[in-house]
Chains A and B, each alone.
Chain A
Amino acid sequence: MAIDKNARYLESHEYAKPEGGNFVIGISDHAQAELGDVVFVELPAVGKTIAKGATFGTIESVKAASDLYMPVSGTVVEVNEAVKNDPALVNKDCFGAGWLIKVAPSNPAEFDSLLDASAYGKAIGEE
């Protein structure tokens, strides 16, 4: 199971990865494997401001539907249109082409309180 070391994680498997002052947000490899084939993703509009812990969208697979939770608070600056058209990208490359949204953080320090790769690995029973 891949755990991107540059990212930090929520226990609910969303990740935040710093990128030039913003954060790229997506779901982890563990999450996409658990979900199975992703068939639908609903993402917020650019410009929306969402607090850490609040939902920012929905992800649906063949077998399940889940809310997506913000790992950090921020304003959406970019949404991955490619994923909306090809949800399978989340399964194929969750840390790369399968990213979901990019946000300008309102409180960047929130990143530090997320689980780092090692702690997330332990949380999902790996190391």
Chain B
Amino acid sequence: MAPFAGYDMPITYPTGAIEEHLVTRRSVGLFDIDHMGQLEISGAGADAFVSRMVTAKVSDLVPPMARYSLLLDEKGGVIDDLFVYRLPQSWWIVVNASNRAKDFEWFKAHAPEDVAVVDRSDDTYMIAVQGPRAIELIDKVANMAVSSIQRFNWGNISIDGVPVLFGRTGYTGEDGGELFFPAAEAQHVWELLLAKGEALSIETRPIGLAARDSLRFEAGMPLHGHEISTEINPIEAGFKWACDFEKEFIGKEALLAIIDKGVSRKLVGIEVFGGVPREGYEVTSPDGKAIGHCVAGMFCPTVKKYAANAFVLPDYAKVGTEASVVIRGQPRKAVVVKRPLYLPAYRR
């Protein structure tokens, strides 16, 4: 157990980080992610407000749609990445635990008179069920077949009498979903899923933060504070696709200026030979010139590589470029590789 975003959380369960990663990719992993935040935005002006606040196009969202987006400040720095659910009467915004308070204050500060912003996090429990058999498992405990809910859509379901908002999305690159339900029912739903998995011989395990990190890393998903942050803009991090330049959004002007001027660094994937690259490790050219730094790095259990995400000078960003990563004082051979290392289910 270790402190994370103000909560005491398991880095691993007794299963261990590597096995927790592998079981998620072959069967079902359960993630207690209640530390994450949920904001609800409603009111006459809500649609226009949400559109102005987040980078992604949302004007086309109708229930049961949901979409990934970024939240930027005026300088184009990333305050958070989040998921926007278009509910029938409101917008349900799912945010990172570490940014929950900041995001809430940011939305509230910008909200006009006819918009209400409410923090629903304390009353809402959130768990993720991820893996190739996740949908099969949830189908067996829910009152309806979640297999009928399309990827990135949501549905209102019931699990053993508990009302659950089910979103067919996730942070692992596997199929499955994220479940939102009344906090008082946390143990009920969690234990029910584990018991049902056992009863049906669907291998189902609780997954800790270490495996959560290696799963999202392989699948090319960012972790705020690493690949994105208030000091990083979406252009240099490769998230231009999450921005709709046909509409107004906070940070748009800054991004247009950055696109015009060109970025000074680019986020790349790097495979390393001879050690484990980690956050903060320096990247150099083959002849020893400093060209960047790693923002995340690890052994990847599914693709079986030692890899890092790093910001490097644009001249060194092309796939196939040779480089070195300095690991504990020693430069180790490295090469820029294509991201993601593991193709997420929704892209297969």
**Residue of B11, B278, B299 with most partner-chain A CB within 10 A:** B299
Is A65 a contact of B276 with CB atoms below 8 Å? yes
**Residue of A60, A65, A88 with most partner-chain B CB within 10 A:** A60
Q: Which of B17, B275, B327, B328 contacts A62 (CB 8 A)?
A: B17
Q: Which of A40, A42, A62, A65 contacts B18 (CB 8 A)?
A: A62
Contact with B along A55-81 (1 / 0, CB 8 A): 000101011010000000000000000
Judge if B94 is at the interface, Cβ distance under 8 Å.
Answer: no
Interface size on A, residues (CB 8 A): 12
Q: Which of B16, B19, B276 contacts A60 (CB 8 A)?
A: B276
Residues 189-213 (chain B) with a chain A CB within 8 angstroms: 210
Knowing A37-B16, A37-B18 are in contact, say whether A62-B299 is a contact too (CB < 8 A).
yes
Is B16 a contact of A40 with CB atoms below 8 Å? no
Is A40 a contact of B275 with CB atoms below 8 Å? yes
Complex formed: what's the CA distance from A58 to B278 in Å? 15
Judge if A27 is at the interface, Cβ distance under 8 Å.
Answer: no
Instruction: State the Cβ distance, A91 to closest chain B Cβ, in Å.
Output: 8
Q: Which of A36, A42, A65 contacts B17 (CB 8 A)?
A: A36
Interface contacts (Cβ under 8 Å), in number, total: 40
Is B298 a contact of A62 with CB atoms below 8 Å? yes
Is A63 a contact of B274 with CB atoms below 8 Å? no
**Residue of A36, A39, A88, A91 with most partner-chain B CB within 10 A:** A39
Is B328 a contact of A58 with CB atoms below 8 Å? yes
Is B210 a contact of A39 with CB atoms below 8 Å? no
Knowing A60-B276, A62-B299 are in contact, say whether A39-B328 is a contact too (CB < 8 A).
no
Contacts of B214 in A (CB 8 A): 62
Residues 284-299 (chain B) with a chain A CB within 8 angstroms: 298-299
Contact with B along A5-41 (1 / 0, CB 8 A): 0000000000000000000000000000000110110
Is A37 a contact of B17 with CB atoms below 8 Å? yes
Contact with B along A85-106 (1 / 0, CB 8 A): 0001001000000000000000
Is A58 a contact of B275 with CB atoms below 8 Å? yes
Is A39 a contact of B299 with CB atoms below 8 Å? yes
Is A39 a contact of B18 with CB atoms below 8 Å? yes
Complex formed: what's the CA distance from A95 to B214 in Å? 29
Knowing A58-B328, A62-B18, A63-B210 are in contact, say whether A39-B276 is a contact too (CB < 8 A).
yes
Judge if B166 is at the interface, Cβ distance under 8 Å.
Answer: no
Judge if B181 is at the interface, Cβ distance under 8 Å.
Answer: no
Is B12 a contact of A40 with CB atoms below 8 Å? no
Contact with A along B11-40 (1 / 0, CB 8 A): 110001111000000000000000000000
Is A60 a contact of B210 with CB atoms below 8 Å? no
Judge if B316 is at the interface, Cβ distance under 8 Å.
Answer: no
Complex formed: what's the CA distance from A88 to B299 in Å? 12
Is B18 a contact of A88 with CB atoms below 8 Å? yes
Contacts of A39 in B (CB 8 A): 18, 276, 298-299, 306
Q: Which of A40, A42, A62, A65 contacts B210 (CB 8 A)?
A: A62
Instruction: State the Cβ distance, B79 to closest chain A Cβ, in Å.
Output: 29
Contacts of A42 in B (CB 8 A): 274-275
Residues 73-106 (chain B) with a chain A CB within 8 angstroms: none
**10 pairs of residues in contact across A and B, judged by CB atoms under 8 Å:** A36-B17, A42-B274, A58-B275, A60-B275, A60-B276, A62-B17, A62-B299, A63-B11, A63-B17, A65-B327
Please report A residues at the B interface, Cβ cutoff 8 Å: 36-37, 39-40, 42, 58, 60, 62-63, 65, 88, 91
